[in-house]
Amino acid sequence: MIDFHTHSLLSDGALIPTELVRRAKVIGYTAMAITDHADESNIDTVLKQIIKVARQLNSDKSFKVIPGVELTHIPPAHIPVMVKKARALGAKLVVGHGETLSEPVETGTNMAYIKAQVDILAHPGLISEDECRLAVKKNVYLEITSRAGHSISNGHVAAMAKKHGAKMLVNTDSHAPGDLITDERALKVALGAGLDNTDFRRITENAQELVKKIRP
């Protein structure tokens, strides 16, 4: 399992980063990103701590920890600046908190993140045709999520991604130990979204492709 969307107690997760990584390794993960929630108020401190821990944990060459961030509830007009700031501060992966149906995310958020070329648009809700087409052009991955609430639009996201050829990933948006999943569970999440085994193989290849692109 490769998971590009997890949270530690550096934002609203339950575990310190090292325990989060340890628990993931035990159930079969080979790589994961720690992407704690951030906005202008905390991005400097959060990223500094994640980068520090990732550097330490990456001394174990059998497992890759990616220091990242999930920009969360950012006003659309501020998103381009925040994406640039996250990368300047050392984020190796930038996730945009999309227009999930389970939270009151501002309209226009999906498009702003895609235009700013985040790496992943998380739980994008009722993503539009135009947004999907632009995600393809900008090489933005769309998330199929195992997280309750956010996952209610998985079927729509999967159908739109397949229609337009957008790349997908299965992520957990983990906040607690029980949120981490196995490859077998990830397959069930994909099948539940209306995808098939061939689609899941492509998702797995997408994850492997993305993790290889990211340098420690």
Domain boundaries, the chain: 2-213
31-74: per-residue pLDDT in tens?
999 999 999 999 999 999 999 999 999 998 899 999 999 999 99
Radius of gyration, CA atoms only, the chain? 16
Q: Which helix (H) or strand (E) holds 110?
A: helix 109-115
Mean pLDDT of 70-79: 98
- Provide φ and ψ at 99, rounded to 5°: -80, 60
- pLDDT tens sequence across 151-173: 999 999 999 999 999 999 999 99
Provide the residue type at 154 as one letter. N
Q: What percent of the chain has pLDDT over 90?
A: 98
For 170, the token pair is 């299965």
pTM: 0.98
In angstroms, how far apart are the furthest CA atoms of the chain?
Answer: 43
Per-residue b/e over 4-38, b at no fewer than 16 CB within 10 Å?
Answer: bbbbbebbebebebeebbebbbeeebbbbbbbbbb
Give the integer Cα–Cα distance in Å for 210 and 186. Answer: 17
Taking domain 2-213, whether its CATH number is 3.20.20.140 is answered by: yes
What pLDDT shows up at residue 60? 87
Contact predicate 47/86, CB 8 Å:
yes
216, pLDDT greater than 90? no
Taking residues 122-132, report their average pLDDT. 98
Residue 198's pLDDT is: 98
For residues 175-196, average pLDDT: 98
Please give the single-letter amino acid code of residue 20. L
**Average pLDDT value for the chain:** 97
**For position 58, what pLDDT does the model report?**
96
- The whole-angstrom separation of Cα 138 and Cα 145 is 21
φ/ψ (deg, to 5) at 212: -70, -30
CB 40 within 8 A of CB 68: no
Give residue 181's pLDDT: 98
**CA separation for the pair 131, 143 (Å, rounded):** 13
